Structure 1
């Protein structure tokens, strides 16, 4: 069994000295991977139900620090040399897929091929509204974005045409170190999320199960 550490970059764990200490200690003691999740926005009184607790409320206070996962993991990668790093999870439909493809590949290169991209579709309608992204069809959007990013990682130049994104003969470099393919795990406990993990991703990121 390989054991990882989750929730780097939240609350007290968002302080650089804590990230450095936890990351280096985890590497020294043989932990497999460091995980860092994402919320761009939290609100004080959400109408959206958090799906991973009995009362429908997230345990993190809305005023807690919550670092951007790709930036936090870049910091963790810089103070370590062997332990793997992963987003657990990046809320993919909230982002531009061309930009995420570049950021994820950059992190993979800087970490020496240690990065796994964990993605999810999100549960907070308030967060999507603040970012100006439709909450509806977020699952389909995430699946399309993943296909587009894989084209960008594998092809140079790359083209893609879909419902939510399209590009023609563009070059996005660097490429991931493992043959133009970055490992992707899909999060979520719904039937759609489990299907996504089984058919479109390289594995499943389980949470509170």
Structure 2
């Protein structure tokens, strides 16, 4: 057996969730840079594109009618309403990536995470929730991004209490006090989860070959 065959494994679904401003998007980008073979699950949304955003890169932008048709046709792995818009994860590219042995990263909220954990791909899920060091710091980060209006930021802050209440539903929880340390912690989680016996598809054949070598020596 070749070394690659012995190390073969199923891909994992990495769910990264947090209240807005806690740092999940920054951590997701760092994780993708750390391992370029990892695939990012591009979400579909009904919100309008922001300046510089492109269809298929940041999001798949759909009308409400088109989005609902995808839901009705069971083409979404998960979907949820966030404020006045809908978001969801198209199923087909995720399944293809897993079957090819690639990990798929989800930057989604607790609602989406809950649906993925309850889906047919539940055994492949590794869920991580990112907490802010304090509510004051969370608010400071939201204002510091300079992406949203005062009204939107207030809405995000109000919603953060409900989002944080779901922390115990996740496999792993970390506090993003320092982004470098948080990145190291997520890397360690991913590396350990990849090595789970149940995910290493080449182990059984490898052990058979080892036993065959023992027999040849007798």
With structure 2 as the length reference, what TM-score do the two structures score? Answer: 0.32
Which structure has greater helix proportion? 2
Greater CA radius of gyration, 1 or 2?
Answer: 2
Higher relative CO (Cα under 8 Å, sequence separation at least 6) belongs to: 2
